[in-house]
Every structure is written in C-alpha cells, then in structure tokens.
Amino acid sequence: MTKNILITGGAGYIGSHISELLLKDKKKVIIVDNLSTGFKKLINRKAKFYKANINNTKKIKSIIIKNKIDSVIHLAASLIIGEGEKNPKKYYKNNVLNTKSLISTCLNTSVRNFIFSSTAAVYKDGKYQVTEKSQLKPKSIYGKTKLAAEKIIIKNCKKNKINYGILRYFNIVGASPSGKFGLINKADHLFKNFSIQILKKKPLLKIYGTKYSTKDGSCIRDFIHVSDIAEIHAQVLNKIDKINKSKILNCGYSKGISVREVAEKFLEYSNQKGKIIKAPKRKGDLVKIIAVTKNLKNFIKWRPKFDKLDVMVRSSIKWEKSL
C-alpha cells in the first residue's frame, strides 16, 4: 500500500486537486514546488510543503529519506505551448534535464512508484483518435520535451525496478467541487480565458484558428475535468503498486469537442452580450485529437463523473467568480 507520496508541482492547478484527493484517502502528501507558476493558496494545509526546485538533488534526497517516500507524482514542469516555441532552452531544462535529475535522485531510495504527467502533445497531429500505440511525433517544443522526459523515466525505472505510470493527459479543465482549488495562472488556457471574459460586461471569446478541416473550422479537443484526472492518479498509483507493473495510459473522455462548441456553451452564461472573435491559428496547436481510453478503463475501475460540457463550463465559471 502506498502511504507517503511526494508530489512535485503540488502548488499548481492539477497538483492541488491530486493532493486534496490523496489527503482525503488518508495518504501523507509531501509537496515540492518552487512556486514558479504555483501558488501558496493552492497548497493544501494538511500537506507538508517544501519550497524547492526539483533539480536540487541534495534537498530532494533528504526529503525522500526524511519522509520515507514510497511514491512520486511528478507534475512540476513548464507547460505553455507558445512560451515553449519562443524559449525552447527553458523547456528543455525544466522538463527534460530537471526530470532526469529528479528520477536519478529517486534511484536507490524507498521510492517504488513514479507517476509522470505527460500529454496528448506527444502524438502526431491529425490522427484524431489516438491510442497509446499511435505514432509519437510532437509538433511543439513542449510536446518534444515531455516525450524526452517519458523516455528518461522509462529507462531509469526499468533499470531500477521502479513501477512507472505515464499518464498522457488531454485537456484539463474545471475546478474542485469543494471550491478550494482551481486554475489561478492566467497562462494560455481556453476555459480560463473564456471564464475571465464571461464575467466581463461584454465578453469577447477568442478562437485561434477557424479554418481547420474540422466540423466547424476550429480545433477539436478531448476535455477532461480536473477532479476526474485526480481520481485517475489515485487509482493508477494504487494499481501499479499492487500488481508491481508499469503502464502508459491516455487520460481523456474519448469525446471530441470543438473550441467553437466550448465558446458557444460559455456564451449561454453571458446574457447575450458576448461575442466570438476569430483569431489567427497558433504555431504548435494540434488540429484535432481525442484519446482512446480502452486501456485506462481496463486497467482501473474508473468511470468519468464530470464529463458533461455544461458541468465543466459551470465549474470553471464558478471558480473564476470566487477569485
């Protein structure tokens, strides 16, 4: 049984939700975060927090030993697609080199499970429905660095008999039903941008790229609620620990929703004063991609709880209002 879990990036959007859930499950949660994009406000009061960079091997090693860490959930990363295109060195350093440093620090310690948050951005664009065996050909620098990190994790974990769970998330949205955790960072995030706009008097919902060969010209994504993704982490971690096996899994709902459909759903909450604005497409954006999740559903007994578009939109707006 897993007991003492180290979450890197636990002061971030997804990490705060995973912490909340694991603490509810009576696990000990230890958070390492340098607060580069995270927030003190998102650190669960019941978790133990260390402000540190994941590449600080000495400090991380002592945290692992002191807290008898059995499992690591590695979320700390740089993740803005556009920023990665402009500053590839930063992305290579934080996502590849720092992951290498972290996994090396875990070797020959009490750590026996390692979960890594990867992304749909590792897949070749234009495939639409992707399985874990689909062609890997990242279009963005961000995707490239995540794929390189996956490879480093697999190699090191195999050699050192650490179970790994590589979770390729699709697009994470929404906020915790408890109202305590959600997305604060104003990074380029569709639901965040739309939620901010919808609270204005005259909301302008910008769609980047409207001439793609999709049903309505906008990009298609597989959006998944952050509470569902948190549940996947808890279950996958328990399972890899129990059966002593490693797994790569897509995490989504297998439902393609276009950006325009999302915009229209948001507009339902804007008293008819909102407008959709067409903007040029962005470099690095995938056109359409959704997850095949057969493997995930076979591996754990997970079923989505928050998969209605309306639920995801309302959850995001409610959080934005609370800020």
Rounded Cα distance, 31 and 16, in Å:
9
Site string for ligand NAD, 120-139 (x = CB under 6 A): --------------------
β-bridge pairing 289-291 and 247-251: unpaired
Site for ligand NAD in 25-44 (CB under 6 A): 32-38
Stretch that binds ligand NAD, among 164-172, 274-282, 296-304, 305-313 (CB under 6 A): 164-172
Please identify, using beta-carbon distances, which residue of 38 and 274 lies nearer to ligand NAD.
38
Question: Which one is catalytic: 142, 164, 169, 212?
Answer: 142
Q: Identify the residue among 2, 7, 15, 230 touching ligand NAD (CB under 6 A).
A: 15
Q: Is 248 in the site for ligand NAD (CB under 6 A)?
A: no
Q: Among 149, 142, 144, 145, which Cα is nearest to 248's?
A: 149
Q: Identify the residue among 99, 119, 156, 250 touching ligand NAD (CB under 6 A).
A: 119
Q: What is the DSSP letter of 93?
A: I
* Minimum distance from residue 121 beta carbon to ligand NAD (Å): 7
Q: Is 259 in the site for ligand NAD (CB under 6 A)?
A: no
Contact 4, 68 (CB under 8 A): yes
Q: Identify the residue among 105, 117, 163, 316 touching ligand NAD (CB under 6 A).
A: 117
* Minimum distance from residue 197 beta carbon to ligand NAD (Å): 19
Q: Identify the residue among 2, 44, 94, 140 touching ligand NAD (CB under 6 A).
A: 94
Q: Is 53 in the site for ligand NAD (CB under 6 A)?
A: yes
Site for ligand NAD in 54-93 (CB under 6 A): 54, 75-77, 79
Q: Is 194 in the site for ligand NAD (CB under 6 A)?
A: no
- Give the DSSP per-residue string, 4-37: EEEEETTTSHHHHHHHHHHHHTT-EEEEEE--SS
The CA-based angle 95-72-192, given to 5 degrees, is 55
Which residues are CB-neighbours of 206 under 8 A, at least 6 positions away?
A: 193, 277, 279
Rounded Cα distance, 297 and 295, in Å:
5
Stretch that binds ligand NAD, among 4-12, 83-91, 197-205, 233-241 (CB under 6 A): 4-12
The yes-or-no answer on residue 128 being catalytic is: no
Catalytic residues: 142
Contacting positions for ligand NAD (CB under 6 A)? 8-9, 11-15, 32-38, 53-54, 75-77, 79, 94, 98, 117, 119, 169, 171-172, 185
